[in-house]
Structure 1
Amino acid sequence: MKQKIQLPSGQNVLNLGQGTWRLGEDPSKRQQEIEALCAGIDRGLTLIDTAEMYGDGDSEELVGEAIAPYNREELFLVSKVYPQNAGNPDMFEACEQTLNRLGVDSLDLYLLHWRGRVPLQETIDCFEELKRQGKIKHWGVSNFDLEDMQELLALKGGENCQTNQVLYHLASRGIEVVLTNYLKEKGIPIMAYCPVIGQEPDLKDLVYSNQTVKEIAEAHNISIIQLLLAFVMQQDNIIAIPKASSEKHVQLNADVLDIVLSEEDMLRLDAAFPVPDQRVPLSVQ
């Protein structure tokens, strides 16, 4: 289901982007992965998420090569800084290296990859200085649970946080206990990574063998991966960023923009994989 998600800045972004975790790590797949990213951009998936951690910068370099032919203003580029680099002066050098690898002058969104030892106020101050320098347009966080967000938003400049990127999929719904409602109240969208489960083989087996999941996918004539993505994209206030390493996978992801699950479908999926009845630790990959 195609939705426009509004960031606190007022900018609207599509609820489906392109993730790049593990892209760029295998030189033999480089051209295929570049073509996949380009195919996504050509289909309107102009939000691209990467990080300095991914392949120690290899992913950012791959993205940079893929986006080079495109109009920069039509893209929405997101990258993430290591926690150990999220202070003064390290963040300024880390950001400059990210920009160089991407071949651009600025990022649309720069995220703290996860919380580390650098005080949050120092990180916010660095983000705000990068904004003043024109190196980034906005900033956000990743892998922050409720208390982390509460602390962040209470700090000077914390209200400028644009998103919280967290793991979320049908079989991992812990954020729905308290975090999603809190962020929605604050007007901060969630960016869901691993929306089709990713590197959790036991959970993947559990979902793929589930009779309800198979029946709903068959009824819509879609794959289980597409069903998982549709489930996430149909939630309020959530942007999904699945990885796709081939043009075929990108097309399958883009096709989900036209899929609408019925209320009955959603209720059946909710019954098969319910929200936990109490808080659980934030899932992180």
Structure 2
Amino acid sequence: MVQLLHKDRFPIGMGTWHMGDYPAHRKQEIEAIRYGLANGMEVIDTAEMYGDGNAERLVGEAIQDLDREQIFLISKFYPHHAKDPSLGRALEHSLQRLGTDHLDMYLLHWKSSTPLEQTIQDLENYVQQGKIRSWGVSNFDAEDIEDMWRIEGGRNCAANQVLYHVGSRGMEYDLLPLQAKQSLPMIAYSPIAQGDKRGVPVHKKEVLQQIAKQHGVTVFQVMLAWVIRHNQVLAIPQSSDVKHMQANIDAAAIQLSDEELKLLDKAFPEPTSKQPLDII
């Protein structure tokens, strides 16, 4: 199975939600993606849903003359495309927009009404054909993962992508430990709480401001460093310009002390009971 996380892979990738939608931003977005790839990043995450294919087209343009084998490319398909022939058409369209003959990982974007047995069987066929090198899921909670593992081929799932940031820790109660125990990588989307509209914005909390000041970095870099403190988590923040891409790269070098982690635990408590899986 293709490994998403290994000791030599950079723990931060590139998310592309909301990218590719504005022609005026296209040049700087492409420059940002290429800069990330040239400076240690390997993983690009996108989806057919993002801008109705616009993000995939943008990524395709950004990588068109680069070494494809140095890029770990992930895309996601709609639940209503979760079985053939619709799945095959969705995959072909994504490959065309991305200008590639294969995906390194293909994710079911969220749970589908199609029996998961059927989806897994079809995805396994595309692995055999070489059109995808691995498959995974997104927005699956612990019970969903355990149900999947009971299905023939379900253990071939290579990752689960979920919402995870310092202000959204519910999945630490059961999902994260479950995946860690079984060495199932987790992809953290919205790791700096992009798009999260609940209450006071996470990045404005005083403790984050204080820790960022002590390290001479931004609050968002501290939030990224916190997410990747687990060796089973890959963060995929979205960044549309080179400056922010470099900030994301630099965040990987930040080491939060035990005392700082305790302060964050106090401000953003660990879950003590089962919580509904957060989704945005």
Q: Deviations over 1:212-255 (max 9, x none)?
A: 11111100011001111110011231000000011111011011
Is this contact kept in 2: 1:8–1:187, CA < 8 A? no
- Of the three residues 220, 237, 250, the one matched with 2:232 is 237
Q: Deviations over 1:58-95 (max 9, x none)?
A: 10000000011210010000000110001021111110
Which residue number in structure 2 is paired with residue 157 of structure 1? 153
5 Å matches for 1:167-186?
A: 167-186=163-182
Distance 1:71 1:206 in 2: 39
Distance 1:163 1:183 in 2: 9
Q: Deviations over 1:128-183 (max 9, x none)?
A: 00011110000000000011111111100001000000000000000001000111
Offset at residue 7 of structure 1 (A) = 3.3
Q: Which residues of structure 1 form unaligned runs of 5+?
A: 1-5
Is this contact kept in 2: 1:164–1:189, CA < 8 A? yes
Is this contact kept in 2: 1:139–1:161, CA < 8 A? yes
5 Å matches for 1:52-201?
A: 52-201=48-197
SS of residue paired to 2:111: coil
Residue identity in the other structure for 2:271: P
- Of the three residues 237, 243, 263, the one matched with 1:268 is 263
Is this contact kept in 2: 1:8–1:188, CA < 8 A? no
Offset at residue 202 of structure 1 (A) = 4.0
Which residue number in structure 2 is paired with residue 51 of structure 1? 47
SS of residue paired to 2:74: strand
Residue identity in the other structure for 2:106: Y
Offset at residue 279 of structure 1 (A) = 1.3
SS of residue paired to 1:258: coil
Offset at residue 271 of structure 1 (A) = 1.1
* CA-based RMSD: 1.6
Paired-residue identity, %:
43
Of 255-264 and 8-17, deviating more is 8-17
Which residue number in structure 1 is paired with residue 207 of structure 2? 212
Q: Which residues of structure 2 form unaligned runs of 5+?
A: none
Which residue number in structure 2 is paired with residue 3 of structure 1? none
Give the TM-score normalised by structure 1.
0.94
Report how many residues are paired.
Answer: 279
